[in-house]
Structure 1
């Protein structure tokens, strides 16, 4: 059955093809160039190895290690196809196109060899998919039939083939994408809707988005129906009812689903799904987002009323989340560009302060977690080692910087971002040049390079004060009739060489962390400012991540929060205390305001220019009289936690995808969930984790339980030795902990590896387990 699809051409606004936009000198062009070098340094044959292996083809080179050899085999290959396609469209670099064509041709060989339409690097995927097709499902929140998030993995290749077709015009990629989609259609044909929904408990990327895209590409309604089947009702239904159920959920599992909801609305015309996506966006941006535009702690949404984990933990906002939030923002913007100022404000904020800051300017390495914790730091991937999800989304992000600068709707041209660039508006026969040194200078010039009649709509950023934006047309001042958050329209018959000069006065402002009104980030215009700080004397940190399973986390010592510099002022309106440094753009000092170690030498600079250092991004504020009280209260709040962290050799957060995967989670009859903002794991049969104790220092296990599970009986077994028969009892505390001693001879014989297993006794349940720490 075919249908008339509500394609992008009939949407309220369209973004321009990347091939019609070219970046000029500026920080985003520098990021694009660094990304191109990173892309070409990756070895295509090593990325292709998982696909060749699963297709039974010879392997000229072995697979990469890290995530590419531990269950997510092939996910980077999918990202790589997308990144090459986007980079080719953005630059026209022939070497990039040649690499893309090679990868597509080799993937086609794999698909042809298998003969079913399937392509994938999932270890022994053929067996798993055969079981699934028969309805033999074993699903957990991060696995399906024993494979680590297999639909999430496949989504990367689906998206890569789509991008190779859409952005690079590959007809082979289009045919492969349709064959791949037909394989998925056939695979799920005999599954009930309930079984499909059960599969969707496991992270699955934006599979619904992909099938909506295929529906648009082919005009065939069967793919739109499949997109709806792959839409997770456990998230969609609360969003349709405008209910926030995000607390405790794995953040980047949810965002791609919502991009799919919006694409289904855009493609199929169901406005209620658009409203659901918009509600999600507002909930995340308004209630769970920090100054840089990022969200999540340890990959999960924290309670909207408690941002304290942002300051306490080192696993702050995940870069993948922001990559996907920008995609969602662009999709929502297309639906209503005229009122899209909020989406553009968020896009700009996140692009400069999270996406740009998460790429190293030298070598192009990428960041997974960006800590908000005072005086912590980030680690960056290396080309041949880090194969994390944030590397995959990172190589895509910096290949698509031209995507959102401009948009068009009928004869209206929207200027969303102030980025040095050129635009070829083919439909109107008009070329545009935007010249700016933004954000180092607060002005931009739009030059019309051809004649034509159209409306130029210039964004009035929310960070510019009301009445402060100034416009000049061919040197003459014109009235600005609009306010922050809107678009200013200039409609006229343009002559070749016409110019519009835009003045965007920046202000230095303080932005409190939500719910923590005495912690502030400092922004100049949309740019978050931060300061480099030092750790303990003589400290030598390694800012390059290794290829270990958890190498993406900055594991170095944390600095006690009471040692961090603070803002000391009797007044709360202390923006005037920040002074620009002459000759150094976007660089400030704060004489007398900052108190603490080396305070006199601290300068605030754009966070996106701060690398290879500990840093301050959120600052506590106090008065001179209260400074010692503040530091004492910080010390008291941290003492027990830091003591426990120092005693901890290894730990698992039960029910959380990445920590469980990092610790070799296995089990039968397993379930997980959330109880009063805390995640738990239990099993009707058994579950286990693999812990590391390289220096053989382990003395005990600290396990956390809930008083609500009183009466459950299960065995605690370590390395096949029974440690304890556990009977959970009632407890006055909602969540409480118990310690279990480990025999010295067991630890000595462990070779540094401890398998911790929980086995349900007959008629009972093992768990729920709320926390697990291995202690010295």
Structure 2
């Protein structure tokens, strides 16, 4: 692929035009998937979030990263390359430090590790908004990152695969979503730089521990997550070396093969990175047509949903998966405040759920996304200018919201990515119409036959059960609008079109098609019955239960030591944004995770008959 020397490229790389000329000399082109899926993903520009909490969180993150100092972001790379490095140290995990002493002092842990994720988040925000200053910032960052690319960066670097994977993601997203003309060429040289420091195959943590290592951090690398973005680099560039690298790092022997056979090998594994790896299996199916990897992804995610999840949809206390039927989830409520690695976990969860939705069209995956959205990530505390980041959701019996002890941790990188992905997670395209996956204020636009169509949602869901959708089209057209009926939906769920009830079975746990000729101004009114229910933490603690209302998991905020009967919890009454529950003492206020600020809270309660 490369027909010019790295030195001449980087010298010419001072201008975007030089990068464009370089890419024009390449005969390679993007490739398509080997398989067709039931559903396809909309482009970022096709979905517009409207006023509501999702848009507010997205805008906050977009503005935050658009304002980050570019010299500070590039400083670790410039320092490693021996180039002038103006700007302040960002500190925390992001900057070089002689104080790094794992696990006692994590300052200087993985310098520059989230640069690619910040680049990715900005590129996706650019695609979603069309914002010119965002595109210009992405392109400046790529242009100024290019001269720093060097093997020197990875000398004595503990997690080369972990950081390069994020760099890879940022560069391919800069190319696709911010039209950067240099990004794929820069990725080529970045790949050259990291290859001498990657293992021969994906390694487990025990395998890394068996190798000589400078300190324990060198045993924490995540080479098994590399294939997803290598496959994406292959699809976007056409360069077969990325396909070969993706196949090289598929962790078949200890992970995907047993998962494909239906064996649950999750217990004891690092939770987020192994959910993230399921997206690599999904890409192996899409690019290679490998049914084995599809089975591995489907079975692995099924084990997460069925054996590892709290009532919030979160999983992985202390960042590890637990042995099913051990009671470990219930026991964790008194042992840890690190219950769910939230921005990272939610990002990984949404990714694999989107893959599974595309392949299967199964509403179960939409239900799981909704649960994680409202009960974890949408309640995350905002990033702070000094790098303090919300990391863990806390399900301890005396829980609270808090920032991670180290600045600029991994969750500061996935946070802007998942909020930029809210739109593409809300709808999916089918040959005969559109699937409405999330009920959020938004508008999706597409071409159906000869018509230009937009579907607009207005709702206060999930604090109110009503969702109104308006069809906008420049001509009448026949197609289907599929509405997700959550598994928990009650018998009073109702659906009407233009004020007339629709005669269709609203079966919980499915997508219901509304097939008709749609005209401009048509209106859908959908009311989802949201019954109160209790959910036990695990089978060994059946009387330890959380209270849910529709998709919302509710947390007691005052007092925390109250005792409840099942009848008292199931008689909760909504009052504004909260719920009031009678107890053995005074009435107790329950709030959703998004409504909690600095209060102490409790998720699970020992419930008596």
The answer to whether the superposition gives a TM-score over 0.5 is yes
Which residue in the other structure is 2:181 paired with? 171
Partner of 1:617: helix, strand, or coil?
A: coil
Q: What do residues 352-390 of structure 1 show as CA deviations (whole Å, max 9, x unaligned)?
A: 1111112349989642111211122121369xx720111
Equivalenced residues, count: 549
Partner of 1:272: helix, strand, or coil?
A: helix
How far apart in 1 are the matches of 2:258 and 2:292? 12
Displacement of 1:250 in angstroms is: 1.3
Partner of 1:379: helix, strand, or coil?
A: coil
How far apart in 2 are the matches of 1:8 and 1:79? 27
How far apart in 2 are the matches of 1:566 and 1:80? 43
Partner of 1:212: helix, strand, or coil?
A: helix
Partner of 1:147: helix, strand, or coil?
A: coil
Which residue in the other structure is 1:253 paired with? 273
* 2:81 and 2:153 in contact (8 A); partners too: no
Which residue in the other structure is 2:531 paired with? 507
Which residue in the other structure is 1:351 paired with? 373
Which residue in the other structure is 1:37 paired with? 63
Higher helix share: 2
Which residue in the other structure is 1:441 paired with? 464
* 1:566 and 1:620 in contact (8 A); partners too: no
Displacement of 1:266 in angstroms is: 1.1
Q: Does 1:565 align with 2:565?
A: no
* 2:202 and 2:249 in contact (8 A); partners too: no
* 2:497 and 2:524 in contact (8 A); partners too: yes
How far apart in 1 are the matches of 2:340 and 2:203? 33
User: Where do residues 300-311 of structure 1 align in structure 2 (5 Å cutoff)?
Assistant: 300-305=320-325, 306=327, 307-311=329-333
Q: Does 1:48 align with 2:74?
A: yes
Q: Does 1:315 align with 2:338?
A: yes
Q: 1:616 aligns with which of 579, 596, 602?
A: 602
Displacement of 1:183 in angstroms is: 5.3
Q: What do residues 266-297 of structure 1 show as CA deviations (whole Å, max 9, x unaligned)?
A: 11111110001111001111101101111112
* 1:14 and 1:408 in contact (8 A); partners too: yes
Q: 1:342 aligns with which of 357, 364, 373?
A: 364
Q: 1:157 aligns with which of 151, 158, 167?
A: 167
- Give structure 2 stretches of 5+ with no counterpart: 2-27, 96-107, 209-218
* 2:201 and 2:249 in contact (8 A); partners too: no
User: Where do residues 120-159 of structure 1 align in structure 2 (5 Å cutoff)?
Assistant: 124-126=152-154, 128=155, 146-159=156-169
* 1:251 and 1:300 in contact (8 A); partners too: yes
How far apart in 2 are the matches of 1:72 and 1:165? 25
C-alpha distance 427-148 of structure 1, shift in aligned 2 (>3 A):
farther
Structure with bigger gyration radius: 1
TM-score by length of 2: 0.84
Partner of 1:331: helix, strand, or coil?
A: helix
C-alpha distance 482-506 of structure 1, shift in aligned 2 (>3 A):
closer
Q: Does 1:76 align with 2:114?
A: yes
Which residue in the other structure is 1:523 paired with? 548
Which residue in the other structure is 2:140 paired with? 102
* 1:367 and 1:390 in contact (8 A); partners too: yes
User: Where do residues 261-660 of structure 1 align in structure 2 (5 Å cutoff)?
Assistant: 261-305=281-325, 306=327, 307-312=329-334, 313-319=336-342, 320-337=344-361, 340-360=362-382, 366-380=389-403, 386-426=407-447, 428=449, 429-450=452-473, 451=475, 452-465=477-490, 467-515=491-539, 516-533=541-558, 564-569=560-565, 572-581=566-575, 584-585=576-577, 587-591=578-582, 593=583, 595=585, 599-600=586-587, 602-622=588-608
Displacement of 1:92 in angstroms is: 2.9
How far apart in 2 are the matches of 1:427 and 1:490? 15
How far apart in 1 are the matches of 2:551 and 2:233? 37
C-alpha distance 173-235 of structure 1, shift in aligned 2 (>3 A):
same
* 1:297 and 1:309 in contact (8 A); partners too: no
Partner of 2:463: helix, strand, or coil?
A: coil
Q: Does 1:65 align with 2:87?
A: no
Which residue in the other structure is 1:729 paired with? none
Which residue in the other structure is 1:235 paired with? 255
Q: What do residues 622-645 of structure 1 show as CA deviations (whole Å, max 9, x unaligned)?
A: 36xxxxxxxxxxxxxxxxxxxxxx
Displacement of 1:181 in angstroms is: 3.9
Q: What do residues 628-670 of structure 1 show as CA deviations (whole Å, max 9, x unaligned)?
A: xxxxxxxxxxxxxxxxxxxxxxxxxxxxxxxxxxxxxxxxxxx
How far apart in 2 are the matches of 1:289 and 1:478? 35
Q: CA RMSD in A?
A: 2.7
Displacement of 1:22 in angstroms is: 0.8
* 2:275 and 2:348 in contact (8 A); partners too: yes
Q: Does 1:217 align with 2:236?
A: yes
How far apart in 1 are the matches of 2:147 and 2:239? 26
Displacement of 1:84 in angstroms is: 0.7
* 2:311 and 2:535 in contact (8 A); partners too: yes
* 2:390 and 2:403 in contact (8 A); partners too: yes
How far apart in 2 are the matches of 1:608 and 1:35? 16
* 2:399 and 2:600 in contact (8 A); partners too: yes
Which residue in the other structure is 2:14 paired with? none
TM-score by length of 1: 0.67
Partner of 1:207: helix, strand, or coil?
A: helix
Q: What do residues 210-233 of structure 1 show as CA deviations (whole Å, max 9, x unaligned)?
A: 111122113344422221111123
How far apart in 2 are the matches of 1:183 and 1:58? 20
* 1:315 and 1:371 in contact (8 A); partners too: yes
How far apart in 2 are the matches of 1:613 and 1:362? 19
Displacement of 1:201 in angstroms is: 7.5
Which residue in the other structure is 1:7 paired with? 33
C-alpha distance 444-158 of structure 1, shift in aligned 2 (>3 A):
same
C-alpha distance 217-195 of structure 1, shift in aligned 2 (>3 A):
same
How far apart in 2 are the matches of 1:109 and 1:99? 17
C-alpha distance 510-360 of structure 1, shift in aligned 2 (>3 A):
farther
* 1:40 and 1:96 in contact (8 A); partners too: yes
Q: What do residues 132-154 of structure 1 show as CA deviations (whole Å, max 9, x unaligned)?
A: xxxxxxxxxxxxxx532221111
C-alpha distance 365-349 of structure 1, shift in aligned 2 (>3 A):
farther
How far apart in 1 are the matches of 2:396 and 2:242? 45
* 2:494 and 2:526 in contact (8 A); partners too: yes
